[in-house]
Amino acid sequence: MKLFKKNSFLFLLPTFLLTIVLVGYGVMMAISESLHKDGRLTFQYYIDVFKNNNFIASFSYSLWIALVSTFFSMLIGLLITRWLYHYWQKKFLKIIYWIPMLFPHFVWGYMMVLLFSQSGWFSSLAHRIGIIHHPDEFPVIIKDSHGIGIMITYIWKEIPFVILMLLPVYHQLNHQLSSVVKTLGGKDWDVFKAVEWPWIMPVLFETSIIVFAFILSAYEVPYLLDTTYPKMIPLLVYEWFFEGDWSNRPKAFAAMLSVTMFIFSIMMAYTSLLIKKRYQMMKGNGK
């Protein structure tokens, strides 16, 4: 007990070890399955994946949806945060941006079906007031080939998360510097560029990577709203893994590990860039 009192983090050790063992075992088995064929080491499954037209189409489609959703989530979340942080001590505003965080992505996807499908609430409303003559004339947003419904779902679900990440950063910002910039004749853009951006940039980029990685690999929303072709990567991998042909399972592992390495490479590139940026700032400050 004395050891636990001196090192309180040891209380977390069982949970940490259990997580590492379970997740680590799953990852190692996935790597092993994707690199072995008939007991021999091979990269054939990875070669097959990158030669597969369905995978290339799905990856391009998924990348497009993830990039667009992440960009607009960051942009809208940042704009709302810049307006909201003046009032963030008010409880009712905290409740407003916390409410969307209470509902999982699956619920938001189902709401999209109820509201924006051609048999949904908005199409019925447009038909009743005479904007369209038949519900089938309502624009196809759900299960469309451009992934508009998926992007809308992710954008309005991730905006509260972006606000949640940025609000504390804005609260800690030295707002006297903003007054100095305005006193010297600077506009709002000058305040943002000179004062806010250097402060929020690390958190904003970290948040964007989290959102991007989640969207690229999540299953629930595409399952509800995705089209038949091209599928998002998680749906394609799920199909390969659970279809009758078990020979495609190693290919499913190879596909998801490739996506994981793609996300990991982005994280490493960002980390390298951030370290370089901080070094330049420290050097500029004469430290």
More confident residue, 138 or 92: 138
Residue 69, pLDDT above cutoff 90: yes
Amino acid 282: pLDDT: 60
Is the pLDDT score of 55 beyond 70? yes
Say whether pLDDT at 275 is over 60: yes
> Could you tell me if residue 30 is inside a domain?
no
Asked if the structure places residue 1 within a domain, the reply is no
In a domain, 67, yes or no: yes
The region of weakest confidence among 158-167, 171-180, 225-234 is 171-180
**Which of 2-16, 212-226, 238-252 shows the highest mean pLDDT?**
212-226
Tell me, yes or no, whether 29 lies in a domain. Answer: no
If you average pLDDT over residues 116-142, what whole number do you get?
77
Number of structural domains (the chain) is: 1
Q: Is the pLDDT of residue 287 over 90?
A: no
> Is 110 within a domain?
yes
Q: Are 258 and 247 in contact (CB under 8 A)?
A: no
- pLDDT score of 83: 81
Tell me whether the omega of the peptide bond preceding residue 230 falls within 30 degrees of 0, making it cis.
yes
Query: pLDDT-derived band of residue 66, with 50, 70 and 90 as boundaries?
Result: very high
DSSP 8-state code for residue 117:
S
Examine residue 82 and state whether it is found in any structural domain, yes or no. yes
Averaged pLDDT score across all residues of the chain: 79
7-45: pLDDT as tens digits:
666 667 777 777 777 777 777 877 777 777 777 787 888
Mean pLDDT for the stretch of residues 200-210: 87
Note the pLDDT of residue 65.
Answer: 92
pLDDT confidence of residue 286: 45
12 domain-assigned: no
Torsions phi, psi for 45 (to 5 deg): -65, -40
Query: Which pTM value belongs to this model?
Result: 0.81
Range of the domain at 101: 43-284
The residue with tokens 């893994």 is 241
Lowest mean pLDDT among 1-15, 114-128, 240-254: 1-15
Confidence of residue 72 (pLDDT cuts 50, 70, 90): very high
Per-residue buried b or exposed e for 25-56, using 16+ beta carbons within 10 Å of the residue's own CB: eeeeebeebbbeeeeeeeeebbeebeebeebe
Residue 287 to residue 279: CA distance in whole angstroms: 9
- CATH code of the domain covering residue 127: 1.10.3720.10
28 in a structural domain: no
Inter-CA distances, 76 with 79, 87, 112, Å: 5, 17, 19
- Round to whole Å and give the CA distance between 11 and 161: 29
